[in-house]
């Protein structure tokens, strides 16, 4: 979208590295990324199929969704791809789109679920909780002062961030072999995650802050992921700091109960 219409980039549900990991988990051996450039955009469907699929990849079969389009101005569809496949000797399988409750599971639908904070619906469509990744950066340190130290997660530009509120989530330090005391990279931990501007303190900057339950570690600079399971409540402005602390305690206990009941959900 940045090539076709600069400035119209949709929210990104999954980073490229995460997509590669998910493909590997499905047993896919090779993950090939084609950079989308202005030159690539001008390839006709026939040139795309011949130059990319036949000459470079030597495909035997192509599997795509039934609404798949390709080539300049999306002029190619599954029927045209089948015709080209007949000519060059490869099969084409157009797969029926997955749907539930009369809703087709598309990236547009999932983005709308995330925007609304409906993580249960997003999880149903994705087959896993929606993940927000980022690097832990220094915040204002207020969470520690309140007894709930949080990791301030700075997501990449265009990341799909859910609606303001508090969420039960799984927290993971990405990578392997990093020992941070009570937290080890690659392991997931229960967390309560706040998304919003901290209205009780008249905050203006929208942040993603994760309170890792029963753990405390220096996470600054670490690349982490939060897998959002369920929204606990909307973002609220409390009359006093004491009221906020009480609410945070309830959030942590609710998150613990929800996550304990969803141990098999990833």
CB atoms closer than 10 angstroms to residue 139 = 19
Q: What's this model's pTM, rounded to 2 decimal places?
A: 0.86
CA-angle at 26, arms to 25 and 28, nearest 5°: 100
What is the residue-averaged pLDDT of the chain?
90
CB-based contact 191:172 (threshold 8 Å): no
**pLDDT at 264 exceeding the cut of 60:** no
The single-letter DSSP state of residue 136 is E
CB-based contact 159:42 (threshold 8 Å): no
CA 186 – CA 193 distance, rounded (Å): 19
What fold characterizes domain 129-261? Elongation Factor Tu (Ef-tu); domain 3 (2.40.30)
Given this model, what pLDDT does residue 265 score? Answer: 45
CB-based contact 180:212 (threshold 8 Å): no
Per-residue pLDDT band for 181 (boundaries 50, 70, 90) equals confident
Q: Which of 4-18, 21-35, 80-94 has the lowest mean pLDDT?
A: 4-18
Structural domain boundaries in the chain: 34-97, 129-261
pLDDT in tens, 199-245: 776 666 889 999 999 888 888 999 999 999 999 999 888 888 888 88
Q: Which of 38-52, 80-94, 129-143, 172-186 has the lowest mean pLDDT?
A: 172-186
Given this model, what pLDDT does residue 266 score? Answer: 46
Per-residue pLDDT band for 99 (boundaries 50, 70, 90) equals confident
**pLDDT at 84 exceeding the cut of 60:** yes
Structure tokens at 41: 């955009």
């Amino acid at each position: 979208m940045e090539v076709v219409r600069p400035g119209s980039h949709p929210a990104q549900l999954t980073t490229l590295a995460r997509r590669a990991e998910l493909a590997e988990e499905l047993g896919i051996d090779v993950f090939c990324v084609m950079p989308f450039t202005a030159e690539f955009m001008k390839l006709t469907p026939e040139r795309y199929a011949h130059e990319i699929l036949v000459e470079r990849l030597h495909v035997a079969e192509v599997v795509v969704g039934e609404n798949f389009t390709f080539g300049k101005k999306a002029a190619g569809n599954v029927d045209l791809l089948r015709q080209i496949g007949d000519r060059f000797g490869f099969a084409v399988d157009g797969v029926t789109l997955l749907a539930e409750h009369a809703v087709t599971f598309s990236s547009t639908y999932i983005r709308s679920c995330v925007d609304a904070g409906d993580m249960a619906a997003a999880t149903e469509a994705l087959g896993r909780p929606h993940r927000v990744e980022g690097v832990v950066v220094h915040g204002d340190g207020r969470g520690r002062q309140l007894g709930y130290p949080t990791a301030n997660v700075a997501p990449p530009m265009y990341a799909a961030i859910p609606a303001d509120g508090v969420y039960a989530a799984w927290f993971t330090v990405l990578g392997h072999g990093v020992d941070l005391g009570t937290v080890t990279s690659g392991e997931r931990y229960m967390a309560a995650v706040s998304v919003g501007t901290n209205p009780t303190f008249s905050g203006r900057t929208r942040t993603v802050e994760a309170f890792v339950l029963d753990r405390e570690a220096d996470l600054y600079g670490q690349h982490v992921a939060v897998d959002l399971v369920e929204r606990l409540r909307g973002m609220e402005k409390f009359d006093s700091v004491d009221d906020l602390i009480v609410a945070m305690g309830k959030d942590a206990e609710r998150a613990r109960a929800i996550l304990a009941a969803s141990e098999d959900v990833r």
